[in-house]
Chains A and B, each alone.
Chain A
Amino acid sequence: MFQTFGLNHVGFLLQSTTWTLLLSAIALVGGAVGGALIALMRISGNRWVDGIARVYIYVLQGTPLLVTLFIVYFGIAGLGFDLPALAAAAIGFTLYSGAFLGEIWRGAVQSVGRGQWEGAFALGLGWWRTMQKIVVPQAVRVALPPTVGFCVQLVKNTALASIVGFIELTRAGQIVSSATFQPLQVYLCVAAIYFAICSTLAYASRRLEQRLATTPA
Chain B
Amino acid sequence: MGYLDFSGILSRSDLFVHGALLTLILSASALVLGTMLGMVGAAMRRSRSRILSGIAMGYVELIRNTPFLVQIYIVYFGLPAVGLRISEMAAAVLSLTLYAGAYLTEIIRAGIDTVGKGQREAALALGLRPHQVFRHVVLVPALSAIYPALTSQFVLIMLASSVVSAISVPELTGVANDIQGQTFRSLEAYLVVAALYLGLTAVFKTAFGAVDRSLFTFRAAER
Contact = CB atoms under 8 A, between A and B. Distances in A.
Interface string A179-191: 0001110011011
A203 to B, nearest CB: 10
Interface in B1-57: 3
Contacts of A160: 67, 69, 163
A59 interface: yes
A145 interface: no
A173 interface: yes
A191 B197 CA distance: 28
B186 A62 contact: no
Given A67-B173, A184-B77, A191-B74, A198 B66 contact: yes
Indicate the size class of the contact surface on chain A: 35 or more
Q: Is the interface of A mostly helix, strand, loop or mixed?
A: helix
B193 interface: yes
12 contacts: A62-B198, A63-B194, A63-B198, A64-B173, A66-B165, A70-B176, A152-B64, A173-B73, A187-B78, A190-B73, A191-B71, A198-B65
Given A157-B67, A160-B69, A183-B73, 13 more contacts: A62-B155, A63-B194, A74-B186, A156-B68, A159-B68, A162-B69, A177-B73, A182-B81, A183-B74, A194-B65, A195-B66, A199-B61, A202-B64
Interface of B: 3, 61-62, 64-71, 73-74, 77-79, 81-82, 155, 159-160, 162-163, 165-166, 173, 176, 180, 186-187, 190-191, 193-194, 197-198, 201-202
